[in-house]
Amino acid sequence: MGVSRSNRPYSLAKIAGIEMCWSYNRQYGTKYLAVMPTNLYGPGDNYHLDNSHVIPALIRKFHEAMRANVKEVVVWGTGTLKREFLYSEDMSDARVYLMNLQNNSFDGLLGSDESVSGKFEPPLVNIGVGEYINIGELATLVKQVVGYTGEIISES
């Protein structure tokens, strides 16, 4: 399947960060850990319609439609794609928690080298809540919170 062109720089940066942590740990005996968030939302987010995250883009779409009395809002795709979301301040709490772990707890998160365990386990922790919502349900929720009364149209 591959990585979409728009996500390629982000994907490569994540891979480079994980590899850098692993390489430093191996070469210098450091204890660096790559921490990967799921889709974040929260204070200071970007509400630009063309380049923002999903939740702020939906909030803006529905708010503008409500103010302009537009009868329908188009939501990207079929609405069936599922995503996991995390409040940005919860991500901050998770990072602080990880930084304050005692060495014996932290060491178990550092992964392992192929030459030691027979398999490569990167020094990586994914931070999320483990609950997914499809974009159609999310759009309906944002519509209700904003107070928009028009229709949602899927762009499929």
Q: Are 54 and 75 in contact (CB under 8 A)?
A: no
Give CA–CA dist 122/131, Å, rounded: 24
Task: Please give the helix or strand (H or E) that residue 98 lies within, else none.
Answer: helix 88-99
The β-bridge partners of 87 are 41
Among all residues, which ones are annotated catalytic? 10
Distances (CA, A) of 40 to 12, 48, 129, 130, 135: 19, 15, 11, 13, 15
